[in-house]
Amino acid sequence: MFARSFFLLVFMVGVLVQSSGCRSLFGWDIHAPGLLSGLYFQETTTAPQRIALYLTDELTSFTSTNKGGRFADPQTYHVGEAFTPMVVEAFQHGFEEFLLMEAEPTPAIMNQYAIPYLVALRPKVFDNRVTLKGQAVGLRTEALVFNPNLDIVGRFEVDGSSDAKKVFAKKGGPEVNLNAAIENNISVTVETLQDWLAGVAV
Amino acid sequence: MKRFLIVLIVCSLIQMPQICADVEDPLLPTDTSGRVREHPKTGKPFVSITDNNNPEGRYPFSSNIEIYSRPDYKMLDHKIKAGEVPYDGPSSSRTKVYVFAATIATAGAATGAFMPVAASTGATGSAAGPLLGAATVAGAGAGAYHYGSKINPDDDDFIERAEARWLETNGETIHAADR
């Protein structure tokens, strides 16, 4: 009688866990602060250029459930949510005349606003490696550079990562680690564009 | 033959306005506007090109914006203890795990099976703060750029933090060997 009710209880708990979903019970929802650190402003200069940035929907809503290890808890990394304000802030500082292209770009729009280059960013891979000592997260994006006729004049991939230890022992550790990986990706994207534009202008 | 050509020309003329309508004149003004927006987290203004028919249609920022202080990556240094660097940003809530564990404990079943999950959320480790070095730039092949930053390039355990690889410039694909 006792064994029967015990198994019934265990079964009911199992059904509860199954129906509510393990992720919602045990999962980690990682939201990065979504702001650049002071380091970015020290390292990156402002280029005297006009540039437009187009963010794909795929990027702004990008999340990853890569939990980084077989036995790790389920995790959801809200990458796009943090990437969007950070990349806008980075371009605001990195280029003297920055435009965010919210409308679908066309050659007519490029001509109307005299935009020499448009950069479109899209996500490729989010990597997460959780070990007993810490966590390494990395983000790969692809940047496409368009001329006023919307022909592709350049395409490059950027990897940004942050590898830190003891992150899970600190309040906000995984969040700041994600922020750092995104910032590394964005700062190299801006530096690469600045160098390329300087080369084109010569 | 002549008649066929005349029919063909007449048909083309009928089709012409429709074909032309599909091609947008790049010199005509578009149905867009340049408007000043404020960065949702810093308040710094920037110019945005929006579609007049749907100005908020592709507003990229999340509607649920919370404002925090800028993160300090010193926090990721293994030598820095928890709470030593002030942090007011988002953090993962462990409450639900404990609430669930408490519910299970009250029900008197399977407590032991669930508690390690709560405990494992505080996994610890040692060493390394990745973001202390300055960016270095090194050209590598025609049109290819490579960027990397390290804690200290002379150290054996330096960590490369980021790099960019050109895949295509001016319509020319850059091969892996040139990157």
**What average pLDDT does range A118-132 have in this prediction?**
91
Chain B residues in contact with A142 (beta carbon < 8 A): 167
Check residues A135 and B133 and name the one with the higher pLDDT: A135
**Per-residue pLDDT at B21 exceeds 70:** no
**What pLDDT does residue A44 have?**
92
pLDDT bucket at A55, cuts 50 / 70 / 90: very high
**What average pLDDT does range B114-130 have in this prediction?**
30
Question: Which amino acid, B29?
Answer: P
Model pTM score = 0.72
The shortest CB-CB distance from B50 to any of A102, A159, A164 is to: A102
Q: Which residues of B42-52 are buried (b: 16+ CB within 10 A; e: fewer)?
A: beeebebbbbe
**What average pLDDT does range B97-103 have in this prediction?**
50
Q: Does B74 touch chain A (CB under 8 A)?
A: no
ipTM, two decimals, is: 0.82
Chain B residues in contact with A184 (beta carbon < 8 A): 131, 149, 161-162
B45: closest chain A residue by CA: A92
Distance CA B149, CA B163 (A): 8
- The C-alpha of B20 sits at a distance from chain A's nearest C-alpha, in angstroms, of 15
pLDDT bucket at A160, cuts 50 / 70 / 90: very high
Q: Does A190 touch chain B (CB under 8 A)?
A: no
Cβ neighbour number for residue B150 with a 10 Å cutoff? 18
**What pLDDT does residue B127 have?**
28
3-state secondary structure chain A: CHHHHHHHHHHHHHHHHHHHCHHHHHCEEECCCCCCCHHHHHHCCCEEEEEEEEECHHHHCCCECCCCCCCCCCEEECHHHHHHHHHHHHHHHHEEEEEEECCCCCHHHHHHCCCCCEEEEEEEEEEEEECCCEEEEEEEEEEEEECCCCCEEEEEEEEEEEEEECHHHCCCHHHHHHHHHHHHHHHHHHHHHHHHHHHHHC
Q: Which helix (H) or strand (E) holds B100?
A: helix B95-107
Q: Give A162-191 pLDDT, tens digit per residue.
A: 988 888 888 888 899 999 999 999 999 999
Chain B residues in contact with A108 (beta carbon < 8 A): 24-28, 30
Name the most confidently modeled range: A15-24, A147-156, B14-23. A147-156
- The C-alpha of A48 sits at a distance from chain B's nearest C-alpha, in angstroms, of 15
